[in-house]
Amino acid sequence: MKTREEVKELRGVAEAELARRLEQAHEELFNLRFRHATRQLDNYREIPRVKRRIARIVTLMRERELGGETE
């Protein structure tokens, strides 16, 4: 599954890199929502995909904060 590969890859990334990726994902989500509101977005399914990516990153950051890296 692609999701598992993405999570494995994210687990190997440093905390600063995760924060940078989270910021980029938030910017991408903002741009997608803006394009959707102005009817310029072709594939509206990108919005939930980016929201899930944000949730994965936040979850991994929270796991590290709590000190446990569960799979």
69 burial level (CB within 10 Å; 0-12, 13-18, 19+): exposed
Q: Which of 27, 26, 21, 23 is nearest to 7 (CA)?
A: 21
Highest-pLDDT range among 6-10, 34-38, 66-70: 34-38
* Predicted model pTM: 0.85
14-36 mean pLDDT? 96
Q: Which of 2, 6, 13, 4 is nearest to 64 (CA)?
A: 13
49-68 mean pLDDT? 93
Q: What class, spelled out in words, does domain 2-66 have in CATH?
A: mainly alpha
Separation CA 15–CA 3 (nearest Å): 20
Separation CA 25–CA 50 (nearest Å): 7
Domain ranges of the chain: 2-66
pLDDT in tens, 59-69: 999 999 998 65
